């Protein structure tokens, strides 16, 4: 029973192979046919001639754990053609954790104390089942979240009984369907965790066929050591590693992705390694004096103690207040910021690298967010692919679809083929472009025309349809679908 026919588009199927002209028939949650499709009584038709029909994009690096509930239409992502988000990156996940005090930064990026209310990962996934979002989610467990829940103090390695508690909670999460473990070793809650602690947790991943993603300890002068540390975890545990938002930050490290990418390529030759990146020279996270020092410019994205300063430059705030930048940082806490810390040639080199997936790292609860939240995928397609010619459109789509679904084990997605889930994005290759800027960061992109999730439209005519067909994707269920 065909529900939809997408007629006359150019299919880019996510594998990297050249586009081809075909009609698409959608029946229920799946793609029923790719090829010449005749008229079908009762099916709705959309003329997509001149448009690209691609698999829905996978945002492999998100902090959408709570956004899936708070903004269930997920317009920031659906407007970009994203049909699946990977949550729980950088060591911070909403579950499994309950707390009765303010969560320490950066856990406060995704929620307040009251939001951390899922003592078991199964409870979080069940809540997603009960209150589905427009798009799918594959969920990581955050190491910092485990630490906050299991340790009496974070300024030291975990003791044996604490490690045991963390292992028990991680195992529960993996049993419930988590796709892997993330770390954020650059952040205060995790920076005192030694490699042995990470390896003891990562050891649980292999039997579960889950993976390890890491916001590394150091993305500046020590980036090569941090890559070695990340690969060593993968080797010790026998699991795939994903290097999160790969970059080399600070003026002294401009150009050094020319060193790191060959090191990553060498690692890929001996073990399973992947990486993700966002297409901007500015990063964004919690506000800290240390990060501000390394940046050429800092924009405040939110502040609990001075909310009216969100969207302003840190130096201007300090000048207004007649205080040092460091003092201004202290007065704004808790707060978030955007940091200009990268060099454009590095961003382009990483994006071009064949193993690089696209991940927005968008922060959905920031008052004045980094434009990557609304702009990442159309920016890669429109700016880096069409305008700069960094790579072809087939390669751009592969980085957003076939590559990440293989890496994260999202069976039946990331391709346009009969039998696959009908997660589909239709876009205009001539006009697709990001419109979110650092001044107007929540402006939706243009050129994303139709987005289907599990066979149902979630974005059309420049707005959400209101339907919420997204699913919490469980690792075991996806593994069982491998035929």
Q: What's 61's DSSP letter?
A: S
Question: Minimum distance from CB of 241 to Zn ion (Å)?
Answer: 15
b/e 464-483 (16+ beta carbons within 10 angstroms → b): bbebbbbbbbbbeebeeeee
The packing angle between helices 160-176 and 143-150, to 10°, is 130
Question: Minimum distance from CB of 249 to Zn ion (Å)?
Answer: 12
Q: CB-wise, 215 or 368, nearer to Zn ion? A: 215
Question: Minimum distance from CB of 331 to Zn ion (Å)?
Answer: 25
Compute the distance between CA of residue 102 and CA of residue 120 in angstroms, rounded to an integer.
19
Q: CB-wise, 215 or 370, nearer to Zn ion? A: 215
Q: CB-wise, 37 or 249, nearer to Zn ion? A: 249
Per-residue mark of binding to Zn ion, 158-197 (x: CB under 5 A)? ----------------------------------------
Residue 126 in tokens: 């069940």
Question: Minimum distance from CB of 246 to Zn ion (Å)?
Answer: 11
Question: Minimum distance from CB of 361 to Zn ion (Å)?
Answer: 6
Closest by CA to 58, choosing from 379, 407, 371, is 407
| Residue 90 lies near Zn ion (rule: CB under 5 A) | yes
Question: Minimum distance from CB of 184 to Zn ion (Å)?
Answer: 6
Q: Residue 379: phi, psi to the nearest 5?
A: -70, -40
Q: CB-wise, 215 or 349, nearer to Zn ion? A: 215
Name the segment binding Zn ion (CB under 5 A); options: 82-90, 295-303, 345-353, 448-456.
82-90
Question: Minimum distance from CB of 196 to Zn ion (Å)?
Answer: 22
Pick out residues in 393-452 that bind Zn ion (CB under 5 A): none
Question: Minimum distance from CB of 195 to Zn ion (Å)?
Answer: 19
Question: Minimum distance from CB of 277 to Zn ion (Å)?
Answer: 12
Burial of 234 from C-beta contacts in 10 A (0-12 / 13-18 / 19+): buried
The packing angle between helices 121-130 and 160-176, to 10°, is 30
Q: CB-wise, 91 or 409, nearer to Zn ion? A: 91
Closest by CA to 333, choosing from 108, 116, 148, is 108
For 34, 333, 397, 400, 482, the CA distances from 404, given in Å and listed in that order, are: 22, 36, 11, 6, 16
Compute the distance between CA of residue 437 and CA of residue 348 in angstroms, rounded to an integer.
19
Pick out residues in 40-69 that bind Zn ion (CB under 5 A): none
Q: CB-wise, 90 or 337, nearer to Zn ion? A: 90
What SS3 class is residue 255? coil
Q: Return all residues near 55 (Cβ < 8 A) that are at least 6 apart.
A: 13, 14, 83, 397, 401, 402, 405, 413, 414, 415, 416, 420, 423, 424, 425
| Residue 143 lies near Zn ion (rule: CB under 5 A) | no
Q: CB-wise, 140 or 351, nearer to Zn ion? A: 140
Strands 448-453 and 424-427: antiparallel
Name the segment binding Zn ion (CB under 5 A); options: 38-46, 86-94, 306-314, 471-479.
86-94
Q: Residue 450: phi, psi to the nearest 5?
A: -140, 135
Q: CB-wise, 185 or 390, nearer to Zn ion? A: 185
Question: Minimum distance from CB of 106 to Zn ion (Å)?
Answer: 8
Q: How many CB atoms lie within 10 A of CB 255?
A: 12
Compute the distance between CA of residue 233 and CA of residue 272 in angstroms, rounded to an integer.
11
Q: How many residues bind Zn ion (CB under 5 A)?
A: 2
For 152, 183, 435, the CA distances from 171, given in Å and listed in that order, are: 21, 16, 42
Name the segment binding Zn ion (CB under 5 A); options: 90-98, 153-161, 295-303, 321-329.
90-98
Compute the distance between CA of residue 160 and CA of residue 168 in angstroms, rounded to an integer.
12
Q: CB-wise, 317 or 363, nearer to Zn ion? A: 363
Q: CB-wise, 246 or 398, nearer to Zn ion? A: 246
Chain centroid to Cα 11, Å, comes to 25
Pick out residues in 205-224 that bind Zn ion (CB under 5 A): 215
Question: Minimum distance from CB of 202 to Zn ion (Å)?
Answer: 18
Length of the chain: 483
Q: CB-wise, 90 or 396, nearer to Zn ion? A: 90
Give contact residues for Zn ion (rule: CB under 5 A). Answer: 90, 215
């Amino acid at each position: 029973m065909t529900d939809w026919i997408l007629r006359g588009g150019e299919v880019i199927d996510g594998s990297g192979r050249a586009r081809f002209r075909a009609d698409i028939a959608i029946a229920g949650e799946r793609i029923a046919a790719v090829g010449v499709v005749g008229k079908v009584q009762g099916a709705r038709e959309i003329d997509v001639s001149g448009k690209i029909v691609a698999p829905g994009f996978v945002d492999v690096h998100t902090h959408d754990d709570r956004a899936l509930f708070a903004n269930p239409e997920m317009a920031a992502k659906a407007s970009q053609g994203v049909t699946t988000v990977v949550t729980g990156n950088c060591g911070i996940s909403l579950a499994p954790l309950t707390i009765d005090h303010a969560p320490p930064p950066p856990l406060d990026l995704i929620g307040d104390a009251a939001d951390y209310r899922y003592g078991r990962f199964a409870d979080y996934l069940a809540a997603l089942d009960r209150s589905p979002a427009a798009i799918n989610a594959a969920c990581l467990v955050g190491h910092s979240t485990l630490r906050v829940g299991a340790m009496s103090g974070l300024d030291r390695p975990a003791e044996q009984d604490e490690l045991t508690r963390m292992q028990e909670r991680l195992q529960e999460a993996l049993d419930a369907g988590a796709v892997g473990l993330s770390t954020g070793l650059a952040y205060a809650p995790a920076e005192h965790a030694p490699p042995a602690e990470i390896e003891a947790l990562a050891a649980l991943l292999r039997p579960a066929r889950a993976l390890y993603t890491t916001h590394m300890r150091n993305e500046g002068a020590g980036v090569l050591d941090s890559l070695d540390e990340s690969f060593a975890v993968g080797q010790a545990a026998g699991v795939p590693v994903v290097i999160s938002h790969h970059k080399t930050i600070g003026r002294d490290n401009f150009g050094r992705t020319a060193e790191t990418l060959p090191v990553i390529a060498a690692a890929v030759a001996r073990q399973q390694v992947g990486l993700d990146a966002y297409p901007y020279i500015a990063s964004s996270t919690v506000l800290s004096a240390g990060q501000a020092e390394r940046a050429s410019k800092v924009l405040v994205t939110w502040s609990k103690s001075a909310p009216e300063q969100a969207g302003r430059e840190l130096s201007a705030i300090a000048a207004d207040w007649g205080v040092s930048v460091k003092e201004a940082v202290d007065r704004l806490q808790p707060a978030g910021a955007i940091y200009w810390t990268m060099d454009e040639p590095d961003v382009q080199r990483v994006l071009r690298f064949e193993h690089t997936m696209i991940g927005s790292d968008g922060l959905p609860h920031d008052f004045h967010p980094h434009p990557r939240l609304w702009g990442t995928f159309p920016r890669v397609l429109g700016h880096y692919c069409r305008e700069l010619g960094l790579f072809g459109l087939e390669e751009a789509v592969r980085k957003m679809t076939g590559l990440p679904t293989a890496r994260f084990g999202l069976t039946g997605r990331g391709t346009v083929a009969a039998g696959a889930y009908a997660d589909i994005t239709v876009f205009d290759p001539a006009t697709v472009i990001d419109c979110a800027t650092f001044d107007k960061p929540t402006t939706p992109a243009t050129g994303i025309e139709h987005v289907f999730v599990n066979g149902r439209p979630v974005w059309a005519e420049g707005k959400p349809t209101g339907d919420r067909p997204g699913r919490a994707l469980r690792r075991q269920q996806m593994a069982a679908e491998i035929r």
